Structure 1
Amino acid sequence: MTASVTNQDALQLVVAVHRLVRSLRQSASVRRLQPTQLLVLAELSNHGPMRIGEIAVRALCSQPTATTVVTGLESNGLVRREADPADGRATIVVLTGAGRETVLSMAHGEAELLSERLSALSPEEQHRVRAVTPLLRRLADR
């Protein structure tokens, strides 16, 4: 017999994931970025240069918001705009070396902190967390 997931179950998971990510970001001693800024940098790191419209789709925000985020990242030297080689009238956003270092620094800092927290769990609990990771990744990629 399969138990169905209720909206309340889903809400509790959303709240728990948000609290975990927020606590890792607040505790990690790395450069502070807004969540959308970090998401844009991570998308550029994972998928390479892209236009603002594609950034908006991947970051789940409006195009004006993506433009504002990119402008802020650009002023901090984390991204730069270049002519799109496929269409000289358009521009693409490219991650700079400093942007790549920022993404890696933040990810490593948060991963180290999470590793410390995971070590406080029992071996069975650690196994359960590792087992759910691919499922969370699948849910995030939809």
Structure 2
Amino acid sequence: MAPEALQLLVSMHRIVRHLRRSRTTSALHPTQFLALMLIADEQPLRIGEIANRVPCSQPTATTTVAALEEAGLVRREQDPVDGRATAVALTPAGAEMVEASGRQAAEELAKLLRRLDDADRELVLRAGVVLARIADDL
């Protein structure tokens, strides 16, 4: 299984790298892009949770959120669960960025998937569901 796992890892990195190069949000650092997408899915989120889920260090998450906030894509607000803490949520500009980025990334990936026959394309799409479960458990 080790050679297959290594092949999967290298292939995923190459595909993600290709998709990063092709997206219009290339002004965002990959960690900023991941954090923005995570915030969009689960907002509001505390910075510690962002650090755990991206994953990155707490200082990196703080710097990332500060850059996203400076760009007008997120805002800090009172945590609805613990009023002493702050959480991060999307701004309207952030929501627009997420929509545009998601659409473009899906289109770019669809181009790659069209190179496959129907059976292989279905297999890859089903694997995406399993990989999402692994990512969610990190």
Structure 2 stretches of 5 or more lacking a match?
A: none
Q: Which has the larger radius of gyration?
A: 1
Q: State the aligned residue count.
A: 136
Match of 1:125 in 2: 120
Match of 1:61 in 2: 56
Say which of 13, 35, 40 aligns to 2:8: 13
- Partner of 1:81, secondary structure, is strand
Structure 1 stretches of 5 or more lacking a match?
A: none
Say which of 124, 129, 133 aligns to 1:138: 133
1:86 CA drift (Å): 3.8
Cα distance, 1:27–1:86 mapped onto 2, change above 3 Å: closer
71-80 vs 108-117, greater mean Cα deviation: 108-117
- Partner of 2:84, secondary structure, is strand
The whole-number CA distance in structure 2 between the counterparts of 1:125 and 1:87 is: 47
**TM-score scaled by length of structure 1:** 0.86
Letter in 1 for 2:116: L
79-88 vs 104-113, greater mean Cα deviation: 79-88
The whole-number CA distance in structure 2 between the counterparts of 1:113 and 1:17 is: 15
1:104 CA drift (Å): 1.7
Match of 2:34 in 1: 39
- Aligned-CA RMSD value: 1.5
Structure 1 residue 94 corresponds to structure 2 residue 120: no
1:85 CA drift (Å): 3.9
